[in-house]
Structure 1
C-alpha cells in the first residue's frame, strides 16, 4: 500500500536527515529481536529490555515488529525505540488491555503484577482496528550532547513514520510513567493525546504505586503531525 501524507512526508524526511547528520547520528532499523535484546543488554545498562519486546516472551519479527536504534559517529548507542502490531481481534483496546495489561509492565524490578491494575480511559474505548504499540524510547543521558538539543521530535516522528510505512495503522499507542509525562515527554516526541491513570503499577519497596499515562495518535493525527515543519515542532530544550 502506498501511503500519501498531506504535503508529502518528503520535507520531514529531508529535514530530519539534515538534523541527524548535523548531530552525527545514524539510524538503523531491524526486526531481529534476539539481536536487539543482545545489544540492549550490552549497551543500554541504564534501562533493561521491556517485556513487550522480549523475544523470550513474544514472537517478534519482520511481519509484526521492528526496532530502531541510533548510533554516534563513534558507534556508541545513543537511542532506541521499538514498535509492534497488536492483535485486538475485533475488540477495542479497552477490552484487550483488561485481559492483557500485564504484558506491558515498566522496565523496573519488583513489579507486582497481581496487585497492579488497568483503568479504561476514554481513548481505549475508541482505539480499534489496526493498532501498533510504541515503546523502548530511550536517549543517552548526556544532556547537552543528545538530550536538550531538539532530537526528541526527530526521533519520535521517525519511529511513527516507520510504523505508517510498514503497517498504516489506524492508531498507535504507548504508556508513559507520570514522572516522565509531567516533563512534557509525550508532546516532544509527537503524541497528541495523553490520558492519566491508565495503568497503576505496584512495585516492591516503593511506598505507593507508580501511575502511567496512555499516549496515543490516530492515523489522522499522524498525517497532521508529519506535515508540520520540524522547526515548528522543536522546543528550545527537547
Structure 2
C-alpha cells in the first residue's frame, strides 16, 4: 500500500530539518545492530541496550529493523531510538504478548521474569496485521539544551516517518514506564493512544513493581500526525 497524506511529508521534513540544524544536531540511521550495541555501550552508559534490540538475542537485519541516533556539533551522542517489525502470524498483539512479553523488559538489572506479568489492554486486542515495535528512545539529560526545547516531537515523528516509509505498518507500539508517561512523554513524541498497566515488572531490591503504559498509533493516526504542521505541536519556548 502506498502511504497517502492529505498534504505530504515534505513540509514535516523541511521544518524538522530546520529545527535540527538550528540545534546543531545531525541524525544518522543504520541497520547494523552490532555497531549500535557498541555505540550504546560506549556513549550511553546510563541506560543499557534494551533486550528487543540486542543482536545476540534477535535476528535484526536491514529488512526488519533500524536504529536512529543524533549527535551534537562536537560529535557527542544526544539521542537514540530504534524500531523493528514484529511477526504476529495472524494473531492480535494480545495473543503474541501473552507468550512473548518477557522479550520486552525494561533496561534494568534484577528483573524477575517469573513474577512479572502482562495484562491485555483494549489496544492489544485491536492491534494486528503489519506491526512495528518502537523503543530505545533517549535524549541527553541536559535540560534547556536538548530537553524542553521542542526536540521530542521532531525526533519522535522522524522515527515514525521512517517506519512508515520502510514498512507501511498497520500499527506501531511501544512501552513507557509510568514515571515517564505521567510527564507527558508519549504525547510529546507523537503517540495518540495510551493504556495503563499493560506490563508490570518485578525488580529485585524494589518494594513495588514497575508499571508501564502501552503507547500505540494506527496507520491512520500516523497519517494524521505527520500531516499536522510541526509548529502546531512545538512548545512555545522551542
Query: Which TM-score applies when normalising by structure 1?
Result: 0.98
In 1: Cα distance, 2:236 partner to 2:61 partner: 37
In 1: Cα distance, 2:233 partner to 2:35 partner: 33
- Counterpart of 1:3? 3
CA RMSD of aligned residues (A): 0.9
- Aligned length, in residue pairs: 238
- Counterpart of 1:116? 116
Runs of 4+ in 1 over 6 A off after TM superposition: none
How do 1:38-117 and structure 2 match up within 5 A? 38-117=38-117
In 1: Cα distance, 2:237 partner to 2:163 partner: 26
Cα deviation for residue 231 of structure 1 reads 0.9
Deviation digits for residues 4-44 of structure 1 (CA, Å, limit 9, x no counterpart): 22200100000000000000000000000000000000000
- Counterpart of 2:30? 30
Q: Secondary structure in 1 aligned to 2:198?
A: strand
How do 1:121-132 and structure 2 match up within 5 A? 121-132=121-132
In 2: Cα distance, 1:237 partner to 1:109 partner: 37
77-86 vs 3-12, which moves further: 3-12
In 1: Cα distance, 2:116 partner to 2:235 partner: 35
78-87 vs 227-236, which moves further: 227-236
In 1: Cα distance, 2:14 partner to 2:207 partner: 47
- Counterpart of 1:19? 19
Deviation digits for residues 137-162 of structure 1 (CA, Å, limit 9, x no counterpart): 00000011100100000000000000
Deviation digits for residues 102-145 of structure 1 (CA, Å, limit 9, x no counterpart): 00000011000000000000000000000000000000000111
Q: Secondary structure in 2 aligned to 1:159?
A: helix
In 2: Cα distance, 1:109 partner to 1:237 partner: 37
In 1: Cα distance, 2:40 partner to 2:197 partner: 29
User: Against the structure 1 CA distance between its residues 112 and 236, is the aligned structure 2 distance closer, same or farther, given a 3 Å change threshold?
Assistant: farther
- Counterpart of 1:231? 231
Q: Secondary structure in 2 aligned to 1:162?
A: helix
In 2: Cα distance, 1:110 partner to 1:5 partner: 44
